[in-house]
Structure formats: structure tokens, C-alpha cells
Amino acid sequence: SLEFYAKGDLQHAFEAVRDVPADVRDERLLAYRASLLLAVGSVSDANAEIERALQLDPHNSDALALQTIIAVVQDDNAKALDVARSAVAAAPQSASALIALSYAQQAAFDLEGARDSVDRAVQFEPENALAWARLAELRSSFGDLDDALTAARRAAVLAPELSRTQTVLGFAYLTEVKTAQARDAFEKAIAFDQADPLPRLGHGLVEIREGKLDEGSRELEVAAS
């Protein structure tokens, strides 16, 4: 399942864990299934899996990290920060916990704190592609475009078949007006995940940047839909 998930193949990732017994008592598996459910927008089902995981282990950092992301999306910033700090306290060197904390900090307008959290994440887990992708985003938000591109390239090298890493790489290229490289990255991201709106948005911006307004507008419409 993890191999399929790393390639963005959610259908087969789900199928690989479909026959797990309903009464399973493995908090790691429950947290993982919650992450799969969140990837397809099933928040209520994901919450149920998270609650089961936390009943087995109240300090499971992966479950707490997922709970943080849900709180961020639901604009409950106080809860997001509180849960994220609990996740980091439970596993101080966990990249997933630190990434979740960075989102909570960003939602609370603490961009420097968010960047510091992800800096720690890549120090503890230098092979974590999602941590490098997140660092690229935050560096870009500070206008540190060269280092943002370096981090995005690192993420794409570590996980070249993940839509997320290719999307972040595309935006890093686009901020430096390297439209050919940005187009290539966005097209790869779209191929890896047809349902992700962000690479469609990026691809549309590339088209507009190159003067192809009709094509760009169509891509933006697809992203919005």
C-alpha cells in the first residue's frame, strides 16, 4: 500500500489494505488509513480512524499530526497549534509532526516559526521528500527563490513520481520565470494525479505567462472545477 501511495496511486493503496480486519488494533495502520482517507477528502471517516488510533495510543504523533491538518483546514487555529505541539512533544524528531506544526504556525501567521519547524524536519529526516517540498514553499514565501528551487529539486529527486513534489518544483521554476521547466514539472504532476487542482493551476499560469490566454484560461477552469 505504501508503495502505491508513494506513486500517487490511491486506488491500489486502498485496495491493498481493504481486507484488514475491522477490529484491528494497530494505531500505526489506523493513522495510515486516516491519511489515505484525507487524501480523497473523507474527513469524517478519517476522524473516526484517528480517534481509534488515539484510543490505542494517545501520544501517537502521526494521528496527532493528521488531527492538526484537519483543524487547520477547518480554521480552528488554536486547536491546530495545541495538537501540533502535542505531536512534536510525543515525537520531537518526527518530520510529519514538525510539518503539521509548520502548517499550524503558518495559519497563525508565524511564518518564521513555520520555516524553523521544517528546517528541523529536514535535519532529522533528510530523505523525507514532503519535508523538502514544504521547505521549498516556505522559502518561496520569504522571497528566497534560489534556495526554494534547491529544496524543490531535492524533493523531486527523492520522490519523482509524487504529484506534490512535481507541483512544488513547477511553482519554484515559475517564480524564476523558467516556464519550460515549470511546464514539464506540472505536466508530470498532472499525469501522476489527475484530480489535483494545483498542477492544473500552475500549468494554466505557465500558458498565460507565455501569452496563450485561451489555453491558460481553460486550465484554470479545470483547476476550479
The model's confidence at residue 10, banded by pLDDT at 50, 70 and 90, is: confident
pLDDT tens for each residue of 38-94: 988 899 999 999 999 999 999 999 999 999 999 999 999 999 999 999 999 999 999
The burial class, CB within 10 Å (0-12 / 13-18 / 19+), for 215 is middle
Q: Encode burial over 81-116: b for 16+ CB neighbours within 10 A, e otherwise.
A: bebbbbbbebbeebbbbbbbbbbbbbbeebeeebbb
Average pLDDT for 9-24: 86
pLDDT tens for each residue of 114-169: 999 999 999 999 999 999 999 999 999 999 999 999 999 999 999 998 899 999 99
The model's confidence at residue 2, banded by pLDDT at 50, 70 and 90, is: confident
The model's confidence at residue 19, banded by pLDDT at 50, 70 and 90, is: confident
The pTM of the whole model exceeds 0.85: yes
Between the CA of residue 116 and those of 51, 77, 190, 191, what are the distances in Å?
A: 29, 18, 30, 32
pLDDT tens for each residue of 208-225: 999 999 999 999 999 999
What is the model's pLDDT at position 124? 97
